[in-house]
Amino acid sequence: MSFDYDLFVIGGGSGGVRAARVAAGENGAKVGLAEEDRYGGTCVIRGCVPKKLMVFASEFSGMVGDAQAYGWDIQAGALNWDTFHGKLVTELDRLEGIYRNILKNNGVESSDQRATVVDPHTVELADGTRKTAKHILIATGGRPVVPEFPGSDLAITSNEIFHLEKLPQSILIVGGGYIASEFAGIMNGMGVKTTQFYRGAQILRGFDEEARGLICEEMRQNGIDVRLGTNVLEMTKEGDKIRVKATDGTEDQFDVVMYATGRAPNADNLGLEALGVERGRKGEIVVDEYSQTGVPSIYAIGDVTDRVNLTPVAIREGMAFVETVFKGNPTPVDHELIPTAIFTQPEFGTVGLSEEEGAAQEPIEVYATSFKPMQKAFAGGTQRVLMKLIVSQATRKVLGCHIVAPGAGEMIQLAGIAVKMGATKEDFDRTVAVHPVMAEELVTMRQPVRTA
């Protein structure tokens, strides 16, 4: 049987574009791709990239005081949102153009419209055109979800926060995950009076407790009103403001309320139900270790599969899919020991097991140090950083590394190599320190602070 394409990809985000490019450009496959929104997907258009630019923009406010303390004659001003936002829009347009060009230059035929699956080898575009393909790859990503409650329609999500008409004077951010905690820091740094509600006992559930505790403490020191054990009961519009009634009995007004209470996979209305493609509890597409669904010609990668929802993971899944399907080299996706950074302020870099996970798994030693970094301490700052290693007592392997510090994302990328290689504590110790940098503590901690 002959098909229009060897591969049809639904979704032009990081994972889909990578798979399409490599299948077409490096493997000579005939590839089609459909994207109903903007090319680049969540990461490039409404996630990692604009978020990181906002982190950069927000960090300047803290630098002015430090510069003054170092002797600079410098005055703080305010962020001009229009200037920043204008540049942001231009940059996102540029990046989207790059994504489109990647596809074009690799011979991928792309359509700017929604596609659904009609049968195991056929997709239908929104204009009614049908295309056949030997393989179909679903890479449709995810979207923010806001729970239903009175006034929930007044909330914005991370999709809208990048394109506010003006910077609000006050914002409430609801949620305690990556997105909520990152945006609390961003908004606070941009000069917005920032409140964060989290329903649980500590933000960033699932990560190392000591690290979470320090991040929350520092966020509060920076001026964010982090209210733990608190949720929204109802919201009402009051003039230009939103009145929020909270579970802790308080009522406050905010200019903007942003919900970052989780994301859902974009797997609805794609035609999958009729084909019997299995969906999980959150609606995600269920796939095996090769990203294959129960329908052999249909694969899925990235956030729509809700495995590890990170851009570099989606890209890995896309590459492994191409290796498996187009190179005849079955390649399972390795989801072990993925280093990651959370761009809270202070930043958090982490790989491997938390102290709690390590202790639950086997006897461990914990090496940790928390101190005032030189640059801030000189300026009179009270901020602290944390360097922490979780070590197996039996194998001496470093099971986890957790860094709360400026630049922690950069540091954990490198520490992640050692941890992924299975480095032992003694391997870390044999490495000569780089002096004077914060990360030298990772190779100079001699005594465990505790065992568990």
Which residue positions form the known binding site for FAD? 52, 303
For residue 171, count other CB atoms closer than 10 A to its CB.
26
The whole-angstrom separation of Cα 449 and Cα 367 is: 6
Q: Distance of alpha carbon 92 from its chain centroid, rounded?
A: 18
How far apart are CB 175 and ligand NDP at their closest, in Å?
3
- Within 331-370, which residues bind ligand NDP (CB under 6 A)? 340-343
Stretches 58-66, 79-87, 196-204, 431-439: which one binds ligand NDP (CB under 6 A)? 196-204
* The token pair that represents 323 in the structure block: 């290796």
Site string for ligand NDP, 250-289 (x = CB under 6 A): ----------xxxx--------------------------
Interface with ligand NDP in residues 222-241 (CB under 6 A):
231
Nearest to 14 by CA among 96, 132, 72, 94: 96
Looking at 180, 184, 368, 401, which residue binds ligand NDP (CB under 6 A)?
180
Q: How far apart are CA 429 and CA 442, in angstroms?
A: 8
Q: Can you say which residues are annotated as belonging to the binding site for NAD(+)?
A: 175-182, 262
- Minimum distance of ligand NDP from residue 284's CB (angstroms): 12
330: alpha, beta or left? (left if phi > 0; alpha if psi -120 to 50): beta
Least distance to ligand NDP, CB of residue 215, Å? 13
Structure tokens at 236: 């009402």
Q: Report the SS3 class of residue 127.
A: coil
Angle in degrees, 0-180, between the axes of helices 209-221 and 178-189, rounded to the nearest 10: 20
Nearer to ligand NDP, 32 or 189 (CB): 189
Query: Does 176 participate in binding ligand NDP (rule CB under 6 A)?
Result: yes
Distance of alpha carbon 371 from alpha carbon 210, whole angstroms: 14
Measured from the CB of residue 320, what is the shortest distance to ligand NDP in angstroms? 19
Whether 167 and 197 have beta carbons less than 8 Å apart is answered as no
Q: Is 435 in the active site?
A: yes
Please give the Cα distance from 303 to 281 (Å, whole number): 14
Stretch that binds ligand NDP, among 56-64, 172-180, 247-255, 279-287 (CB under 6 A): 172-180
3-state secondary structure of 392: strand
443 is a contact residue toward ligand NDP (CB under 6 A)? no
Instruction: Identify which of residues 257 and 364 has a Cβ nearer to ligand NDP in the complex.
Output: 257
Distance CA 424, CA 410 (A): 21
Q: What share of the chain is helix, strand, coil (3-state, %, to 5)?
A: 35, 25, 40
* Least distance from ligand NDP to the Cβ atom of residue 413, Å: 12
Name residues contacting ligand NDP, limited to 126-165 (CB under 6 A): 147
For β-strands 109-111 and 31-34, DSSP reports them as parallel
Q: Which of 25, 107, 151, 177 binds ligand NDP (CB under 6 A)?
A: 177
Name the catalytic one among 121, 163, 402, 435: 435
Minimal distance in Å, beta carbon 198 to ligand NDP?
A: 6
Cβ proximity to ligand NDP: between 92 and 445 the closer is 92
Task: Find the binding residues for ligand NDP in span 304-323 (CB under 6 A).
Answer: 309-310
CA angle, 27 as apex, 35 and 13 as ends, to 5°? 20
Q: Which one, 35 or 182, has the nearer CB to ligand NDP? A: 182
Q: Quick one: which of 190, 177, 170, 24 has its CA closest to 105? A: 24
Number of residue whose CB is nearest ligand NDP = 177
Using CB under 6 A as the criterion, which residues of the chain lie in contact with ligand NDP when the complex forms?
A: 147, 174-180, 182, 198-200, 205, 231, 260-263, 309-310, 340-343
List, by residue number, the catalytic residues: 435
